[in-house]
């Protein structure tokens, strides 16, 4: 069975999270570490994927300073989204050659994890044909944006648990004007313990991807300069 190390990192600056992913991707390409799932939260930040349109950010730099939110361009796929406290962000660093070399399968599997997780909390969620993510009605509860190079995955998902949804009002999330955003807190009318959510997510990842999930606090391996490739997929 494939081993996946799960790292619960708490609140991590977005730029620091990017660097951590880069190091782990290099290690995974070099077969120097196992599959890893990073679970964390970010301070307020808007991220722009490779397909992002700047006009989907609806506020001025002055307003961004007022709400203490950064704007960062990334190499993931997709348009603009928001990350902040109360939102569970996950970065799977997986070698898909050990799973299935199928990008669509990977995306649908990520969605399946969170359809099951929301069900664990009594919320019925589903896919919407032609769109990525997980939805409750016409409101998105899970956003996906991934980067894949030589079948090694990075970036990943953002799951709205106790997210302050006001921050989505200042963007057009994922470039979709006609859709809304929701959270477990909004749907259930109460805050949800993040550790309980992380436990559920870890369990469901193991089920859907057929992995043995091991909780770890080991230091992240040092950067390995090997295994550079220009073959990339963004979704």
Distance CA 225, CA 30 (A): 9
Is residue 81 a contact partner of residue 57, using CB atoms and an 8 Å limit?
A: no
Active-site residue among 80, 93, 174, 192?
A: 174
Distance CA 192, CA 10 (A): 16
Are β-strands 70-73 and 139-149 bridged in parallel, bridged antiparallel, or unpaired? Answer: unpaired
Neighbours of 70 (CB within 10 A): 16
Sign of CA pseudo-dihedral 154, 128, 140, 159: negative
Reply yes or no on whether 4 is catalytic: no
Q: Which residues contact 3 (CB under 8 A, 6 or more apart)?
A: 34, 35, 211, 212, 214
Distance CA 119, CA 97 (A): 30
Q: Which residues are catalytic?
A: 174
């Amino acid at each position: 069975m494939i081993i996946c190390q799960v790292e619960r990192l708490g609140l991590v600056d977005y730029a620091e999270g990017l660097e951590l992913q880069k190091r782990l991707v290099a290690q995974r390409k070099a077969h120097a570490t196992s599959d890893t799932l990073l679970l964390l939260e970010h301070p307020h930040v808007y991220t722009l994927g490779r397909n992002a349109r700047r006009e989907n950010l609806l506020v001025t730099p002055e307003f961004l300073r007022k709400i203490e939110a950064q704007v960062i361009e990334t190499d993931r796929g997709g348009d603009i989204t928001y990350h902040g406290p109360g939102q569970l962000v996950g970065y799977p660093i997986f070698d898909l050659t050990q799973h299935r070399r199928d990008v669509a399968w990977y995306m649908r599997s990520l969605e399946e994890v969170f359809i099951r997780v929301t069900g664990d909390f009594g919320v019925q969620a589903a896919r919407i044909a032609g769109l990525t993510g997980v939805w409750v009605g016409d409101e998105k509860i899970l956003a996906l944006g991934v980067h894949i190079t030589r079948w090694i995955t990075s970036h990943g998902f953002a799951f709205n648990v106790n997210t302050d949804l006001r921050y989505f009002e200042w963007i057009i999330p994922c470039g979709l004007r006609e859709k809304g955003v929701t959270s477990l807190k909004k749907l259930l009318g109460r805050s949800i313990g993040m550790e309980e959510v992380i436990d559920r997510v870890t369990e469901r990842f193991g089920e859907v991807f057929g992995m043995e999930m091991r909780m770890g606090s080991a230091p992240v391996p040092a950067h390995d300069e090997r295994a550079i490739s220009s073959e990339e997929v963004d979704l």
